[in-house]
Amino acid sequence: MQEELGKFESMAEEWWDVDGPFKPLIAMHPPRVRFLRSALCEHFGRAPSQLRPLEGLRALDIGCGAGLLSQSLARLGAKVRILNPVAHGVQLE
């Protein structure tokens, strides 16, 4: 477990590098967020055109990695709890 944690901690600087090893993940992130925003708004009867359409909703992101999705959901208004061995249960608002 410690070895695995060390591996991910050593990659911390690379998670958000648009030209780094996670470039494919970063490239697919905007369409993924658009899809989730649309699906969540439809499911919860929210207007996707609102600035923070997920306001008042709570989300749990297990194994969030660098928090790419978690941060986007928080920007859309959701209260997000992330569970990750490195993040130790951080809450984003």
**Range(s) of the domain holding residue 73:** 22-92
Within a domain: 11 = no
**Which range is least confidently modeled, 19-23, 54-58, 86-90?**
86-90
User: What pLDDT score was predicted for residue 89?
Assistant: 52
Residues 6+ apart with CB under 8 A from 67: 61, 82, 87, 92
Within a domain: 8 = no
Within a domain: 27 = yes
Average pLDDT, the chain: 86
Confidence of residue 68 (pLDDT cuts 50, 70, 90): confident
Within a domain: 16 = no
| 8 A C-beta contact, residue 71 and residue 56 | no
Higher-pLDDT residue of 61, 87: 61
Within a domain: 63 = yes
The tens digit of pLDDT for each residue in 27-67 reads 999 999 999 999 999 999 999 999 999 999 999 998 877 78
Domain count, the chain: 1
Within a domain: 9 = no
Within a domain: 64 = yes
The reported pTM is: 0.79
Q: Give which of 64, 62, 66, 63 is closest to 21, Cα–Cα.
A: 66
